[in-house]
Amino acid sequence: MAAIPDIVEKDLKKLETSIDKLITTKIHVIKEIVNYIIKSGGKRVRPILVILSARLCGYKGEKHIPYAAIIEFIHTATLLHDDVVDNAKTRRGFSTVNTVWGNEPSVLVGDFLYSKSFELMAREGNDMILQVISAATTALSEGEILEIVKTADINTTEKEYFQIIGNKTAVLFAAACEIGAILGKSTQQRRKDMSNFGYNLGMAFQLMDDILDYTSFDNVLGKRVGTDLQEGKVTLPLIHALRSATDEEKSYITKVIDKPRITARDFSRARKIIEKYNGIDYTLSTAENYTKNAKGHLKSFPESRYKEALLTLTNHMLSREK
Ligand code: FPP
Ligand code: MG
């Protein structure tokens, strides 16, 4: 990510070493699949948040590194599951694990990473962090399930959409930041501030993801553009457009969203409808509001290069291209 601050560079090197060290298994294929996805060029946004939050909250030790690795493992586990659910063919510019090895290995290696994360956390023995992460993973599953329930439902409301993305994405961002505050032995208020900062940032991140799914290009994004429409996901650009769309446009979207395979023409027509009703601009300004809220939660923290880095990362969220 372009906004990766220099001050976390050393910690990020340690993170990579820690990732290698912590994935212990005698089963060769697990190692092969984990390496394949985890070395495929993820942005490491969530581990960066753990690192910066811990330092912002005055933490001086080294435990933030294994926790940053654990957060990345959990995130990777969700991607291995999500790509099966979404029938995704590419991620980060490579074929997905489900495409190369099949659905079963993708789900089961996801289970391995998820279980390994909890094994490692139990070993660390910090109950507060364990509580935060277990609540976050429960929310992740709820978000993903609610999303399935709402598949192809063109009456999905903005509120329901926020509930979905809040659970499936923002909650893990919130947990990453709260871990930092817990490590720094912060007050309850600071813990809340860090968690709220992460939550709002996570909302902005997913809103941008849902914009890029309509506006980007496969080779830039590293995954297939138009997947949301193809998979029947009714995201904010579409929700907003549907509020003002004509009956004819609505029935067109209903037809497309139910199709097992959409064509390039279908996608381009849907995109035109979204553009006509400013679905992208509306989503962008919603994301901007979330970044403003996120920054507001950092106000009470004293100025530091870590705070500066978190603010830069937050601003960068709105211009991210992948
Ligand atoms: C990506 O969304 C998916 C998520 C952020 C959450 C996935 C959660 C699960 C599969 C359930 C929980 C699993 C575990 C192991 C606790 P997206 O499909 O909009 O993004 P994408 O375009 O990058 O695929
Ligand atoms: Mg997906």
Ligand nearest the Cα of residue 206 is: 1
Q: In whole angstroms, what is the distance from residue 278 CA to residue 257 CA?
A: 20
In eight-state DSSP terms, residue 302 is: P
pLDDT given for residue 3 in this prediction: 53
User: In the beta sheet, which residues pair with residue 90?
Assistant: 95
pLDDT given for residue 5 in this prediction: 63
* Distance from the alpha carbon of residue 78 to the mean position of ligand 1, in angstroms: 5
Q: Pocket of ligand 1, candidates 80, 82, 109: which has the most ligand atoms within 8 Å of its Cβ, to mutate?
A: 82
Q: With a cut of 70, list the residues of the chain below it in pLDDT.
A: 1-5
Class of domain 8-311: mainly alpha
* Distance from the alpha carbon of residue 178 to the mean position of ligand 1, in angstroms: 20
pLDDT given for residue 2 in this prediction: 46
Closest-lying ligand 1 atom to the alpha carbon of residue 86: 18
Closest-lying ligand 1 atom to the alpha carbon of residue 213: 22
Structural contact between residues 14 and 65, judged by C-beta atoms closer than 8 angstroms: yes
pLDDT given for residue 6 in this prediction: 79
Cα dihedral 70, 73, 77, 78 sign? positive
Closest-lying ligand 1 atom to the alpha carbon of residue 88: 24
The DSSP annotation for 119-153 comes to HHHHHHT-HHHHHHHHHHHHHHHHHHHHHHHTTT-
Closest-lying ligand 1 atom to the alpha carbon of residue 114: 15
Q: In whole angstroms, what is the distance from residue 173 CA to residue 122 CA?
A: 21
In sequence order, the 6+-apart residues with CB closer than 8 A to the CB of 98 are 80, 83, 84, 87, 88, 105, 106
> Residue 174 corresponds to which tokens in the numbers above?
């919130």
pLDDT given for residue 322 in this prediction: 84
Structural contact between residues 206 and 169, judged by C-beta atoms closer than 8 angstroms: yes
> Residue 129: what residue type?
I
Residues in the ligand 1 pocket, defined by CB under 6 Å: 77-78, 81-82, 85-86, 88, 110, 114, 137, 140-141, 144, 168-169, 209, 223, 227
